[in-house]
Structure 1
């Protein structure tokens, strides 16, 4: 991976990361955004892109390959790049959970490749997104975002250069995996919960889903919850802390993603409780699917992976805008901000039949909107 020079000072980066949701809305307005889908930024004419397809440079930005979810995202992104003959015009950049680094990387690539840059970005947190949108608009480049955006903002309130925002509705994910966990516990007992980054929309939605399931299972009680920041090592450490505090009172661990759940499994193994204490996760990582299939460490459920679809369709939508195949300003609100189709949970009943998370064979890039499930209200 290419090492990119920093183009902003540490002080300005810290200011960007500290933006509140209200400040985020203000910054988008200052960038020349309005509710009509046009912008005073460079290239913001309300017209479709006019890039030569051969001149487009594709960029995928996420945290890093230490999280297998991003391996699946990269697989989908590469599959799209190959489908349009741009394998050599594709760059993966890893933020490594550092918002300042992510912004610097994006600014550097925009400066290098200009208005025919297509970015598919998973912002490290909500506060960094307005600065990313501003940088893209200034270059007249093209942006699709994943998962995180500040409340009250969205592509239709910005310009055509923020082409689309996609996510997966976390409520059914959190709800269905929680129900599977509770059923594996016999419908009773005590759980602890590992939350994602608290500022992230999917983390909030998934925890809301857990709370909904708890209301339906009055004999299951939530002892404690704490963020483990989507990270496996932190998931292991937090679970160890819970085990020290609550000991044999814990019958289950609900985790907002598989990385944290896999960390919980390691902590349970060290405590001699793997298999006895049940675990659930979300995201469909291969190790999680394998553990559900094996049935020997108490992994009750996860969800089917959307990583490859998010990588592939995210770039496909941005590419379609950059090359004039679609005009974002004329697309429906459902195409500008939407949830991907929910593929359901992985349990012992179906784990053996599912393709690996990196499988891209069913991605249909001839219809960039084939992944849309339902609109996201921008608020």
Structure 2
């Protein structure tokens, strides 16, 4: 397979360099380095678990966040489809990486090789420890969103079944362009970033930077992290409104949670509708705001939360029960972006369904959610 320079991304990690190609919208790892050194587990064994013996585990920050409610809905739908509702567990990290790692190790100690984990790591830095713990237990892991630069599942380690994400660059770019157009192509904005160690935060901000390069009359006054958190998004926006006042014409946020916090701060300042806002993730409240012309909420993206919960467990379950041997799967089945969904604006928001709707999930074609069509 050959890639053009525009399709090739080099990621350095110490002395290791990983070359990723983006082809058909799929994140493909061409050279991978394992991270589970010292593992005592059998890294190439095909799963032999009986379906009824599998424990399904979904981990994210917490169900007070609407995004994770939808992730949980997708995960529960998969568990129900396999008759494993009684074997499904949701564990909340509450934004604490140490707690999340401890929870996982405890579950592995009790469940062993028939545990399937679909994990949204709180921070990329804890992924190597997760992978090592899973390898040692002989269990099965799918990671979502976050992994350290240069570190993805490899043929040498079948227990880290897959890493799945959504390409954040077009998300950040498309929502930024919608924001800039709503501002008339000129003015100044502030930006709310997610956790800086998170791959989607980095990708989405790159998308914003790409859009800024195309709109010379838009100025980025300042960017700050609000940690994916609604309250922090409100607090940071209030602080920047105090600092910059009427200079701010727009707020670009890397998630809807932070954007909704910003919207509250804007309302508190008496500037609802005067300052435009965009977010990402397709939360129901954000979709409602986009549908309301007076809110100033210009755009978001469609949610992939249900897909990530359901299909992440499906990949792990298939490995645990021997339906697939991850070590023999192609690289684009081990590290990939889900198929992209269009940006949501007032023009199409009426066509977007409930973010927690599980009725369209299809588990018969394991790899159907993988990748996206190349756009000419």
Q: TM > 0.5 between the two?
A: yes
* Alpha carbons 2:58, 2:72 under 8 Å: kept: yes
CA distance in 2, matches of 1:358, 1:301: 19
Aligned-residue offset at 1:362? 1.3
CA distance in 2, matches of 1:187, 1:175: 14
Aligned-residue offset at 1:159? 0.4
1:37 alignment counterpart: none
Aligned-residue offset at 1:29? 4.8
Q: TM-score, normalised by structure 2?
A: 0.89
* Alpha carbons 2:36, 2:132 under 8 Å: kept: no
For structure 1, the residue ranges without an aligned partner over 5 or more in a row are 1-19, 33-40
Q: Secondary structure in 2 aligned to 1:274? A: coil
Structure number with higher helix proportion? 1
Aligned-residue offset at 1:260? 0.3
* Alpha carbons 1:28, 1:158 under 8 Å: kept: no
Aligned-residue offset at 1:26? 9.3
CA distance in 2, matches of 1:97, 1:23: 30
Which of residues 136, 143, 149 is equivalent to 2:141? 143
1:246 alignment counterpart: 244
Aligned-residue offset at 1:22? 4.8
2:29 alignment counterpart: none
Give the root-mean-square deviation of aligned CA atoms. Answer: 1.8
Task: Write the deviation string for residues 107-135 of structure 1: whole angstroms up to 9, x where unpaired.
Answer: 11111111000000000001111111011
Aligned-residue offset at 1:42? 2.0
CA distance in 2, matches of 1:157, 1:271: 54
CA distance in 1, matches of 2:122, 2:135: 19
Q: TM-score, normalised by structure 1?
A: 0.89
Q: Secondary structure in 1 aligned to 2:35? A: helix
Q: Secondary structure in 2 aligned to 1:225? A: strand
Q: Secondary structure in 1 aligned to 2:371? A: strand
* Alpha carbons 1:235, 1:260 under 8 Å: kept: yes
Which of residues 315, 318, 335 is equivalent to 2:316? 318
Runs of 4+ in 1 over 6 A off after TM superposition: 23-27
* Alpha carbons 1:74, 1:311 under 8 Å: kept: yes
CA distance in 1, matches of 2:129, 2:358: 32
Which of residues 216, 219, 224 is equivalent to 1:218? 216
Which of residues 5, 30, 37 is equivalent to 2:37? 30
1:68 alignment counterpart: 66
2:345 alignment counterpart: 347
Q: Secondary structure in 2 aligned to 1:233? A: helix
Q: Does 1:90 align with 2:88?
A: yes
CA distance in 1, matches of 2:33, 2:219: 41
* Alpha carbons 1:340, 1:373 under 8 Å: kept: yes
2:333 alignment counterpart: 335
2:297 alignment counterpart: 299
Q: Secondary structure in 2 aligned to 1:120? A: strand
Task: Write the deviation string for residues 87-123 of structure 1: whole angstroms up to 9, x where unpaired.
Answer: 0000000000000000110011111111000000000
What are the equivalent positions in structure 2 for 1:137-286 lying under 5 Å apart? 137-156=135-154, 158-286=156-284
2:370 alignment counterpart: 372
For structure 2, the residue ranges without an aligned partner over 5 or more in a row are 1-11, 17-31
2:22 alignment counterpart: none
CA distance in 1, matches of 2:64, 2:298: 23
CA distance in 1, matches of 2:230, 2:326: 38
The verdict on how the C-alpha distance between 1:158 and 1:243 changes in structure 2, with shifts beyond 3 A counting, is farther
* Alpha carbons 2:194, 2:201 under 8 Å: kept: yes
